């Protein structure tokens, strides 16, 4: 049988997505070390977090989040009514039976839930995440080996350029300004193609060094579909230098 030109289906994986929870109401049941990690992750995603835990059970980090009013604390054990008006539930308590009961209640209400350290009772997993500004890279072992995911994530991070996060921020700014220059939805494919040219032809150092004036100059080359280098853009601005056209010729 001839080998297919399409990728083989492996199965057994997860659909890894960037879940937008900004402004969503996330309930965290528990206040220990694992809960602290969950809280940190969802706060980084700008969620509104409520923690259900007796105050005496809070670890140092969770207590700090409460003190700084980064999260709301309900000082008691979980009650079913806590699931009213929430969008996501995370549990991190040392009580398997109670955790299972919470998961079942979440399923009845169709609430996405993650039950710490119980993969079969998780609608989603937390991976090991590397963060550099807007850049996020997640490594998941689909619940098989969280520690190994952390090792793999560190290995990936050590091979990334130090300035990758700053470069991505500049690209994001350029992309937003391009949408203002060419707002027509029909321009979408051309915008994507031109931004791809910029990312492929400019080194990270130049992307980081690009300022507002450089962006304004560069956007002038969008319509002809050209991408000059940063040096070419700046050379054009120097006194006594002849002009520079969109085809990279001199006039």
Q: List active site positions.
A: 117
DSSP E strands in 42-161: the ranges are 48-52, 72-74, 88-91, 113-115, 128-132, 135-139
**Cα separation, 96 vs 77, whole angstroms:** 15
Helix (H) or strand (E) segment spanning residue 26: strand 25-29
Residue 186, classed as helix, strand or coil, is helix
How many Cβ atoms sit within 10 Å of the Cβ of residue 72?
14
**Cα separation, 237 vs 248, whole angstroms:** 14
Could you give phi then psi for residue 222, rounded to 5 degrees?
-65, -50
- Joined tokens for residue 139: 């490594």
**Cα separation, 106 vs 192, whole angstroms:** 40
- Joined tokens for residue 244: 């520079």
Could you give phi then psi for residue 250, rounded to 5 degrees?
-105, 145
């Amino acid at each position: 049988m001839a080998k297919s030109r399409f990728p083989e289906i492996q199965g057994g994986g997860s659909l890894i997505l960037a879940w937008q929870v900004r402004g969503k109401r996330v309930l965290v049941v528990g206040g220990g070390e694992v809960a602290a990690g969950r809280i940190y992750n969802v706060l980084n995603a700008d969620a509104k977090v409520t923690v259900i835990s007796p105050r005496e059970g809070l670890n140092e980090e969770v207590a700090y989040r409460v003190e700084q009013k980064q999260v709301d604390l309900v000082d008691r054990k979980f009650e079913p009514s806590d699931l009213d008006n929430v969008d996501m539930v995370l549990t991190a308590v040392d009580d398997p039976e109670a955790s299972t009961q919470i998961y079942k209640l979440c399923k009845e209400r169709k609430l996405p839930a993650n039950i710490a350290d119980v993969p079969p009772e998780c609608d989603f997993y937390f991976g090991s995440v590397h963060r550099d500004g807007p850049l996020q890279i997640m490594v998941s072992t689909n619940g098989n080996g969280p520690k190994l995911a952390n090792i793999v994530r560190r290995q990936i991070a050590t091979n990334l350029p130090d300035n990758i996060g700053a470069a991505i921020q500049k690209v994001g700014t350029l992309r937003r300004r391009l949408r203002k220059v060419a707002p027509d939805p029909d321009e979408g494919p051309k915008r994507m193609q031109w931004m791809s040219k910029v990312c492929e032809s400019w080194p990270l150092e130049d992307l980081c060094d690009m300022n507002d004036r450089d962006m304004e100059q560069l956007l002038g080359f969008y319509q002809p579909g050209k991408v000059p280098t940063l040096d070419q853009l700046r050379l054009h601005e120097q006194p006594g230098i002849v002009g520079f056209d969109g085809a990279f010729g001199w006039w």
